[in-house]
Amino acid sequence: MIQITGLTKAYRRRRPPALLDLTFDARPGAVTALLGAEGAGKTTAVRLMVELERGQGVTLFGGRTYRELRRPEREVGVLLAAGAAGHPGQQALTHLRMLAAAVGVPARRADELLEQTRLATVADHRLRSFSPGMNRRLALAGALLGSPATLLLDAPTEGLSPRTAEWFHSFLRSFAVAGGTVLVTTRVPEEAAALADRVITLDQGRLTADQPVTEFRRARLRSEVAVRGPQMARLADLLVAQGVEVRPDGTAGIAVSGIARTEIGELAYRHGILLHELADRVVDQPVPHPTLPAASGRSGQVQLQVQPQAQGPEQPRGRRHARPSATETAALGEHLAVERPPGEHPHPPTPEQRGPVPESAHADLVPAAPARPESRESVDHLDRTDRFDRSDHPASARPALGPDHLSE
């Protein structure tokens, strides 16, 4: 039995996690399918289960983690994503016997598995000549060398011919019937419905459904009939008149739901409608996108994003407690003089404090006076500058000058 609890993996900070709080069980005697589109997190989940990647959460195989298993190859058979089964220059039998020696099983076990996976006739062929289906069957034989009770397979039938995929389905179902535990990933809903006893649906790294296969077929799959021919408009009118659901399917075809394929053929024959195609098929209904849970309680990766409250202009970093410069103070003084009548305090006074506000209350808003010049030329220069500033700026736009400033 495989127990998965709170598997979480985030590759980058401030990005959505690749896998978020995945929790489910894969029971003995049944095939469990982990279904999801490309990028849903299936391969990441498998790699976390066998601790090939670091993340959060725990996976137990018979009550122990993969690292705690004394001989993991004898308890869990792992088949990862598609790739070469071994060195291209090796023979299949040599490759499998080498793996048997590493696992610690007799060499005859390699011969038995070549027979079981239908590779005995090509045992002396080099791996470079193997087709993708033969490579995958050889990888499966390597995973079975230790006679494990659990199989963990990542997309074992992806890219294979329908005949080879059907062989894999039959083999995995037989393994489960014998009491084994099978967990397989796939991105094809029809394959999950045909192979598994239970379907776990992933979408964007989050578990969206955990269903028995009968409920999965009813909720996610829909049977319809594909019809093609030169007179589809006429046939569609006849079907709609009978209360059948009809939708366009390509340029010269329709998809019909709610009626058997034989009834459509008989209706077309009675009205003299020529058909080029009449076939049953199963279509997948899109899975709804999940919402981010408020908290996980196990993974520790779920965090709510709180919108910051509106604040004033952000202060420059490193100057939060610094004294404002003369330029900033002068600008603030001009703003207060324009927005408010002179002498008015920015905060309304209490009744006890009402009365005239002295001009010195704003003295701290006036820029500091320049240092006393050491020569007469500097004094004349400052006097000319002051007259220039007074002529360019009206009195209402200049801050009130306190007596301390005038005295200097």
Return d(Cα 26, Cα 3) in angstroms, integer: 7
Q: What does the pLDDT read at residue 319?
A: 45
Which of the four pLDDT bands, split at 50, 70 and 90, describes residue 215? very high
Burial class for 294, CB neighbours closer than 10 Å (0-12, 13-18, 19+): exposed
The region of weakest confidence among 70-79, 105-114, 245-254, 261-270 is 245-254
pLDDT in tens, 81-97: 766 678 888 899 999 99
Q: What does the pLDDT read at residue 11?
A: 87
Q: What does the pLDDT read at residue 318?
A: 46
In the 8-state DSSP scheme, what is residue 65? Answer: -
Residue 389 host element (H or E): helix 376-392
Which of the four pLDDT bands, split at 50, 70 and 90, describes residue 331? low
CB atoms within 10 A of CB 286: 8
Burial class for 314, CB neighbours closer than 10 Å (0-12, 13-18, 19+): exposed
In the predicted model, is pLDDT for residue 314 greater than 90?
Answer: no
Q: 192 Cβ partners below 8 Å, 6+ apart?
A: 33, 35, 186, 199, 213, 216
Which of the four pLDDT bands, split at 50, 70 and 90, describes residue 405? very low
Average confidence (pLDDT) over 111-130: 92
Q: Outline where 117-260 has alpha helix (H).
A: 132-143, 162-177, 189-195, 213-220, 232-241
Give the sheet arrangement for strand 76-79, strand by strand: 76-79, 150-154, 181-186, 30-35, 198-203, 206-212
Closest CA to 249 of 296, 272, 281: 281
In the predicted model, is pLDDT for residue 148 greater than 90?
Answer: yes
Average confidence (pLDDT) over 296-322: 45
Residue 202 host element (H or E): strand 198-203
pLDDT in tens, 372-400: 545 555 445 444 544 444 444 444 444 44
For the chain, what is the mean pLDDT? 79
Q: Note the pTM of the prediction, 2 decimals.
A: 0.64
Return d(Cα 202, Cα 189) in angstroms, integer: 12
Q: What does the pLDDT read at residue 282?
A: 82
pLDDT in tens, 235-291: 999 999 998 999 998 888 999 988 999 999 999 999 999 999 999 888 877 665 544
In the predicted model, is pLDDT for residue 198 greater than 60?
Answer: yes
Residue 20 near residue 8 (C-beta atoms within 8 A):
yes
User: Which residue reads 């090939």 in tokens?
Assistant: 52
In the predicted model, is pLDDT for residue 309 greater than 50?
Answer: no
User: Which residue reads 């006739």 in tokens?
Assistant: 121
Which of the four pLDDT bands, split at 50, 70 and 90, describes residue 348? low
Average confidence (pLDDT) over 113-124: 92
Q: What does the pLDDT read at residue 330?
A: 57
Bridge partners for 277 per DSSP: 228
The region of weakest confidence among 204-208, 226-230, 374-378 is 374-378
Helix (H) and strand (E) counts for the chain? Answer: 12, 13
Residue 71 near residue 89 (C-beta atoms within 8 A):
no
CA 258 to chain centre: 36
Which of the four pLDDT bands, split at 50, 70 and 90, describes residue 407? very low
Average confidence (pLDDT) over 48-55: 93
Which of the four pLDDT bands, split at 50, 70 and 90, describes residue 358? low
In the predicted model, is pLDDT for residue 162 greater than 70?
Answer: yes
Return d(Cα 343, Cα 367) in angstroms, integer: 18
Return d(Cα 143, Cα 46) in angstroms, integer: 15
* C-alpha distances in Å from residue 258, one per residue of 190, 262, 375: 19, 12, 104
Q: What does the pLDDT read at residue 281?
A: 87
pLDDT in tens, 3-15: 999 999 998 888 8
Return d(Cα 339, Cα 361) in angstroms, integer: 17
Which of the four pLDDT bands, split at 50, 70 and 90, describes residue 333? low
- For each of the domains in the chain, give its residue range(s) and CATH number, in order of start: 2-204 (3.40.50.300), 221-284 (3.30.70.980), 326-341+358-407 (no CATH)
Average confidence (pLDDT) over 217-225: 88
In the 8-state DSSP scheme, what is residue 91? Answer: B
Return d(Cα 183, Cα 371) in angstroms, integer: 82
Burial class for 126, CB neighbours closer than 10 Å (0-12, 13-18, 19+): middle
